[in-house]
Amino acid sequence: MTRLHLVRHGPTHAKVMVGWTDLPADLTDHAALARLSAHLPPAAPLISSDLSRAIATADALALPARPRLPHDQGLREIHFGAWEMRGFAEVEAETPDLIRAFWESPGTIRAPGGECWNDVAARVAAALTRLPDQAPDQAPGQAPGQVIVVCHFGAILAALQACLHLSPAEVFTHKIDTLSVTELHKTRSGWQLTRINHTP
């Protein structure tokens, strides 16, 4: 695996914290999907999380030469537990110190019944470690080891942290839009970030 193309799923239009709740993606912007598909390598395998918004986005990007790999639960969004489908202001009114610490000092702090950031980072890192064994050989003429990973905001940040050895505070400074691409390239000296939050 020499290059990761990390794609955030299509928009859900939700204004609340959506983690493991299985909301569908709005994939009606066919022009945006076509531009995204044209930007991605035409013969790289596609993998997604097992949530429907990621699966449907990956399906929309599928080509005959892009094999679909089995969905991986390890690529899911962060699990917000009791905060699922609730807005920041609503939760802040109840437990202001907890939710502020969760977002401002990501690490061991978790939502009630949910995951902390360190849980997500470990889960996504394990999923990335499995990728080389899942991806088939590339087609002739294609650069070896390219994989398109359709997942979520938190999973993309966790991938950046794992590959670039960043701190949680550093990765949380990045914006990741829906239908954007973040690219990581593995060189002899390690992983390098070649593109982040790019919208074709």
- Residue 109's contacts (CB-CB under 8 Å, 6 or more residues apart) are 98, 101, 102, 116, 117
DSSP 155: H
- Arithmetic mean of pLDDT, 115-135: 90
Residue 36 CA, distance from chain mean position: 15
pLDDT at position 131, please?
A: 86
pLDDT at position 132, please?
A: 74
Using one digit for the tens of pLDDT, what is the confidence trace for 62-92? 999 899 999 999 999 999 999 999 999 999 9
Q: How distant, in Å, are the alpha carbons of 20, 142, 177 from that of 48?
A: 14, 21, 17
- Residue 37's contacts (CB-CB under 8 Å, 6 or more residues apart) are 60, 61, 63
Per CATH, the number for 3-198 is 3.40.50.1240
Burial class (CB in 10 A: 0-12, 13-18, 19+), 198: middle
pLDDT at position 99, please?
A: 97
Statement: residue 168 has pLDDT above 90: yes
Residue 172 near residue 135 (C-beta atoms within 8 A): no
- Arithmetic mean of pLDDT, 159-164: 96
Span of 3-7, 116-120, 144-148 with lowest mean pLDDT: 144-148
- The pTM score is 0.94
Report the chain's C-alpha Rg in angstroms: 17
The Cα 180–Cα 187 span in angstroms is 23
* Coil vs helix vs strand at 166: coil
The domain locations on the chain are 3-198
Statement: residue 142 has pLDDT above 70: no
pLDDT at position 133, please?
A: 66
Residue 89 near residue 15 (C-beta atoms within 8 A): no
pLDDT at position 125, please?
A: 95
pLDDT at position 143, please?
A: 52
pLDDT at position 195, please?
A: 95
Percentage of residues in the chain having pLDDT higher than 70:
94
Q: Can you give the length of the chain in residues? A: 200
Using one digit for the tens of pLDDT, what is the confidence trace for 3-50? 999 999 999 999 999 999 999 999 999 999 999 999 999 999 999 999
pLDDT at position 137, please?
A: 57
Q: Which of 197, 158, 184, 151 is nearest to 57 (CA)?
A: 151
pLDDT at position 73, please?
A: 97
- Arithmetic mean of pLDDT, 129-158: 79
